[in-house]
Amino acid sequence: MRGGFGRHALNQFAAATYVSGAEKEARAVLSALGGEIESLPWRWLAAGIRERIALAFVYERACRELGVALD
């Protein structure tokens, strides 16, 4: 899934499902991302300075909360 609109759309959908509490859907989309995150929308979900500096921490937090294995 390298580049293109697909990656952008998956990032947006992953954040939306995570925030809305749609856990089953969020798990599937977070897994599909495979760690290829974009700064938006994860920046909106950052809690604290550490997550604002390194947005991967936001993605990792979401994965941990939902039980998604990180590669």
Residue 40 domain-assigned (yes or no):
yes
- Give the pLDDT confidence score for residue 21 in this predicted structure: 95
Residue 54 domain-assigned (yes or no):
yes
CA 22 vs CA 3, 8, 15, 25, 44: distances in Å: 25, 19, 10, 6, 18
- d(Cα 29, Cα 51) in Å, to the nearest integer? 20
Residue 71 domain-assigned (yes or no):
no
28: Cα separation from own chain's centroid: 11
Residue with tokens 């760690």: 35
> Peptide bond preceding 41: is omega within 30 degrees of 0, i.e. cis?
yes
Q: What is the pLDDT of residues 12-71, one digit of tens each?
A: 999 999 999 999 999 999 999 888 888 888 998 998 899 889 999 999 999 999 999 986
Q: pLDDT at residue 2 above 60?
A: no
- Give the pLDDT confidence score for residue 31 in this predicted structure: 93
Confidence of residue 4 (pLDDT cuts 50, 70, 90): low
> 18: domain range?
4-66
pTM attached to this predicted model = 0.82
